[in-house]
Amino acid sequence: MAFRNILEHKSKSLIVGVLLAMGALILVLGNSFINASQMGIRTMFTESYTGDVFISGKSLDGDVSLFGVMSMGGSASTPTIPEYEKTYELIRNTPGVAKLSGMATGFGITVKDPDATMGDGPQNMSQQSGDDAESGSDGAEAMAETMASRFLFLFGVDAKDYWSLFDTVEIVSGSLLEPGQSGLIVNENQLANMSKALKRDLKVGDMVLVQGISSGGMRLREMPILGTYRAKGEGAAPEQLAFADIDSVRILAGMTVGASENIVLEPEQTAMLSIDDTDSLFGDELLAAPISQGSVFDEAALTATLADTSVRDVANQADRGAWQYIVVRTEKPSDALAVAKSLNETFAREGIDAVAGDWQKAAGPYGQSVDVVRIVFLVAVIILIIVAIIIIMNTFVISVIERTGEIGTMRAMGAGRGFVRRMFAVETGVLSLVFSTLGASLGAIIAAILRASHIEAGNPFFEILFGGKYLNLVVTPGNFAGAVLAMVVVGFLAHLYPVSVALKIQPVRAMQSE
């Protein structure tokens, strides 16, 4: 009877069916896009940057990711792993952990050596001072050249074990960073861009001046280029990523011995702080003391004092115990969450102020981009469902009104309300199941076609959304079944009101309206 009624009302059944099919198609394609993005970013981070489990110190200013503390204004310093050696051993001895390595990250820019642009110094300056407006233009151009730079996202790695965790870069020239070496390994495209910016034909072995950018200020360090690389996979690895020795990154990021030292002042150095009468600091007594006849200016002593760089050397010496992160490769990728949970319990028990998480914790804003896309898509789907329910409901109302006489006759012949409800429920269920399956199947076919077309992202933003260089839509059985089920539920909800309206009409009046 349900199939007969569907065929008898072809036009209205087709309208409802097309709406349900469109809904299923959109759900399949939308979820496949989100899955592709999430899987791509997850693969990129776990295989290239963070491993399966990511451990960092805790910060009161926000969550800690591979890119630092996600705080308001981005000015918070990235915490280091407390009691690193102890923490490292606890992690290494945790069941499920296969490999691990310490690392730190930082930001920097390549800058021109001032000596390369200033030439003969005072001679150039005096010559420029006597030139005309054209000379001023040349000076501005020289200043612009001096400011030429390329951004670097620095990975300070432990060369003795980092490369055993990640095998995603292919060395084009030079070699991988080895234990004890100091220098940079940059992307081959980045090296070309650096050469253009610095107006030098850079190659492996050349020195570059890197200015570190951190919450603790800016520091300069000259580093050799040890090699160039290209990414093996199709992940969205930024060309700005550069691998460096851990000590260089520590210095550029402000993780120095001087930064962690406690400065103790002698009582005579703090005597002024205890003066109650601040006016006495500015009285005549300040200059009343006579100058001793025997006192002379000792230029040699002053020069010796200024030449003492011991304090500065300590301030710029890398804190060799400072590590921001520990990345872990588990025995099985599926064990990541269980290992992270076990590590957090261990940290709490041992009183270690550290936290373990999965790739999404490490990805920070990149991982959140997937959640944002998912939320936007969910809102759009909810709006779509509401609109679909209203349209389908109106179509059902018209269909039920046209069948008022039929319903009244069945009621007069003894059919109860339950029978009528079940009949319409079966009709709606069959219609929803058939057309939503067709729509979901069409969505899967379109996804396969788009995947085979190798649509290229074209820019870093779409590489993040695509989860790689190419659009790789992934339709899972769960997404397919979920789309069909969602549309069946939509159809069922849409038919409830029209049927309840029809059942309120008395059988005699319903038969008379025929």
* Residue 335 pLDDT exceeds 80: yes
* Residue 339 pLDDT exceeds 60: yes
* Residue 321 pLDDT exceeds 80: no
> What is the SS3 string spanning 387-416?
HHHHHHHHHHHHHHHHCHHHHHHHHHCCCC
- pTM value? 0.66
Nearest to 228 by CA among 212, 242, 213, 208: 242
How many whole angstroms separate alpha carbon 208 and alpha carbon 226? 11
| 119 pLDDT tier (thresholds 50, 70, 90) | very low
Token couple for 478? 């769960």
Q: How many CB atoms lie within 10 A of CB 121?
A: 10
Mean pLDDT along residues 163-178:
88
pLDDT of residue 131: 42
Nearest to 176 by CA among 330, 166, 249, 46: 166
Q: Are 59 and 80 in contact (CB under 8 A)?
A: no
Mean pLDDT along residues 180-208:
90
Which one is predicted more confidently, 425 or 72?
425
Q: Are 447 and 457 in contact (CB under 8 A)?
A: no
How many whole angstroms separate alpha carbon 91 and alpha carbon 93? 5
Q: Domain coordinates of the chain in residue numbers?
A: 2-45+367-512, 53-112+148-259+319-357
Cα end-to-end span (Å), the chain? 20
Which one is predicted more confidently, 275 or 121?
275
Give me the phi and psi of 330, to 5 degrees please.
Answer: -85, 165
Mean pLDDT along residues 266-270:
56
Tokens 């005072």 belong to 122
Percentage of the chain modeled with pLDDT above 90: 23
How many whole angstroms separate alpha carbon 479 and alpha carbon 476? 5
pLDDT of residue 283: 56
Nearest to 194 by CA among 224, 152, 230, 163: 152
